[in-house]
Structure 1
């Protein structure tokens, strides 16, 4: 087991710090698995029918509410056997949720924008959803689907939640992000409701009886397909989300392609697939107020109750700008995360804190295993290029997580605070990290390595500043 502060003061490091007895896993699941995983992921196809929302009363000048008209067009398309619901160029006021239906592709034409209401009451009645990994009845996400199959949200248009610190974002409470908040101690925030929700989950209260919504101050996520199959989100731009931007939950066969997320509020993660199987995220750009991509699987007792991991993800050809992390596993990961592949991505911003991040603690439990990263270019990050922290949020409990089998190769970084920040638990160390053919230039401080079992460094270069 390794526990020390490590700093390389030579031009390069070429060594193996511990031989790995877990290499057999790399033979079982590894880069050779990517083609097979991608082959199992296919975007849904839609019938050759088109339903123009303006034919159902939608107003492209933004003067009247178009929510009812858009949902009517979606229902008509679904009832006809499926097809494309077209939102032509224009601005559309949407005072309430859009509900996606099976076999329907909601297509936003170029220069079209859906401007969603910031009035919470517009998102009632409550729906079955998740808040930070815990199931409950809460405000509907602005774009929502439950139990549907073959659904699409595509096109070159924009969805704008219009969230700001004057509405949804102020419910977060204290916020130290780049967007200015005037929240002060004593102002209402989400903390009381969140504490109650977590207590209910720990006590085994059924999710349908965890009723929040009105006056609870728990924000909804923006786009949430829940328990859906064959999901396509492609081409759109996402702005000003109340909370997490793209949040597929308990879905299978998900494609997120060519999406731009530009949303800098609190917890404005770009894409958070949670407890999903077979997910492809490619050719996207993330510029966010929190993690760019964060892979999750439920929090604490609720995650263990559902016991559904996130698994078989491929993330490729994406660009990460601002955010807390580029590709992140955790922290709501009590159901486990495994078999994740990241390749050919670019991560670069003075406001991007980490490139690859794994976060958990002994309250969350679960496992993070079999993460493969290659061909990633990091310009600069403000903290660590690679960060694995099992002391996240200083929470402790009786469920120490298992974190093992992390493979990083052909990664280059130009500027950071640390190259590595690895902090395992004394009795449950991080197991088996392999870093091959990587260059970490411009690290300002020595790396932190505590409670790591089997760290292999092979052709790792750390040029002096």
Structure 2
């Protein structure tokens, strides 16, 4: 245990000698850009066009749905959505009880409202998520199983209410497709393993196969996302609780003006990321709770060649007043980050779990490439986590590539951390080090392990105490 009230000292880790340099500038030596930066965050929030839905309700019972029964409500919900869309927009209401359903596809100007006391319970028969749709899976475009709730190319759409969306994934259903893994608690089912299809999809991406000719639905065992809005504008997800997801929970792709508000993501299966905006612009995530089997929030912009081909960054993202519990990371950038990330803001969030592996995490490699820059974090309270700040250029493929990653212009300030195993875990490349990171006005309580810092010469500490 390190002495409590002393300025943070950084330890060299690894026989290769990794700590290249560390500057400890006097406070005030460099003019802080805080005011302008956070003014930009306010401008991003103000620029988001909120969803506006006409005040017309289309109650699913009026279209044949029967709650609290074995009746399949899929057709009734689809008919209600079609009627609302044809009328110029409105709310499709699931009022009370449990509704059994398969894939739901939203249309422009329609809000799916799952009221408090209502549950959408999704069937687990994979054939009910066919025909295949155009989707993005781990940053790669393809034709795959429909996400449980899906929209493509729509405008002004929402999922709201105080109800529950239950994907019904578990150790016997959906999750076994992950296959063998060090964190496995799910069953292994012979012949049902995503790895062959995942490898084939990556080969298709490398070979430049037309994305619409990449067919990875039936027989491929690539799990669908829970909610995916693809190439949509004016998107809102508010108030609902998502549980038992097959794969990533919230996955807007190539969307603009996205609001995720007051949502609870609680699912502990493999790859159960909470909210993963990918290649999106102008995004607000606020007042949410994340308790997940993978990253809580992971910002992405495409994987390897696909990310560079599409070439759209994730940018102008504001995360505020959120709570992170279990997860691989609290706020994460990567690893599918080949299109880059910029103007990322996080403030007034709390993180607290012995099973939260990292509070702030940047993961990339020399296959991904991409530029991650202008990330601002302030007023975050880490009550308990395993590591506070992680930058890892050695994720998955590591140095085995020709596209060097860039992480630079990262500012974390007014950070309070009660208990972590380690503060810094920074690993760049000798020939391509981690860029500028500043930690300002941070206070650490219990720290159990020495820092690991490899090839991160531009780390600046100002008023950092533990």
TM-score normalised by the chain length of structure 1 = 0.94
Distance 1:138 1:345 in 2: 35
Deviations 1:159-199 (A, max 9, x none): 1000012121000012344x722328x65310110110011
* Alignment partner, residue 274 of structure 2: 270
* CA shift in 2, pair 1:427/1:28, >3 Å: farther
Deviations 1:71-116 (A, max 9, x none): 100010000000111111110000x210101001111111100110
Q: Post-superposition shift, 1:25?
A: 10
Q: Which SS does the other structure have where 1:399 is aligned?
A: coil
Matches within 5 A, 1:50-89: 50-89=57-96
Contact 2:172 2:187 (C-alpha < 8 Å) held by counterparts:
no
* Alignment partner, residue 341 of structure 1: 345
Q: Post-superposition shift, 1:11?
A: 2.2
Q: Which SS does the other structure have where 1:428 is aligned?
A: coil
Deviations 1:131-176 (A, max 9, x none): 1000000000010000000001000011100001212100001234
* Alignment partner, residue 204 of structure 1: 208
Q: 2:163 aligns with which of 150, 157, 164?
A: 157
Distance 1:128 1:274 in 2: 15
Q: Post-superposition shift, 1:249?
A: 0.2
Q: Which SS does the other structure have where 1:65 is aligned?
A: coil
* CA shift in 2, pair 1:310/1:54, >3 Å: same
Contact 1:284 1:317 (C-alpha < 8 Å) held by counterparts:
yes
Structure 2 residue 433 is the aligned partner of structure 1 residue 426: no
Contact 1:360 1:392 (C-alpha < 8 Å) held by counterparts:
yes
Unaligned stretches of 5+ residues in structure 1: 1-6
Mean CA deviation greater in 132-141 or 442-451: 442-451
* Alignment partner, residue 370 of structure 2: 366
Distance 2:310 2:31 in 1: 29
* CA shift in 2, pair 1:14/1:193, >3 Å: closer
Contact 1:296 1:332 (C-alpha < 8 Å) held by counterparts:
yes
Q: Post-superposition shift, 1:62?
A: 2.9
RMSD: 1.9
Q: Which SS does the other structure have where 1:301 is aligned?
A: helix
Deviations 1:428-448 (A, max 9, x none): 111111101001221111111
Matches within 5 A, 1:30-429: 30-94=37-101, 96-177=102-183, 180-183=185-188, 188-382=192-386, 384-395=387-398, 396-429=400-433
Contact 2:90 2:109 (C-alpha < 8 Å) held by counterparts:
yes
* Alignment partner, residue 3 of structure 1: none
TM-score normalised by the chain length of structure 2 = 0.93
Q: Post-superposition shift, 1:33?
A: 1.1
Contact 1:18 1:454 (C-alpha < 8 Å) held by counterparts:
no
Q: Which SS does the other structure have where 1:453 is aligned?
A: coil
Distance 2:31 2:307 in 1: 29
Unaligned stretches of 5+ residues in structure 2: 10-21
Distance 1:436 1:19 in 2: 10
Contact 1:141 1:224 (C-alpha < 8 Å) held by counterparts:
yes
Q: Which SS does the other structure have where 2:358 is aligned?
A: coil
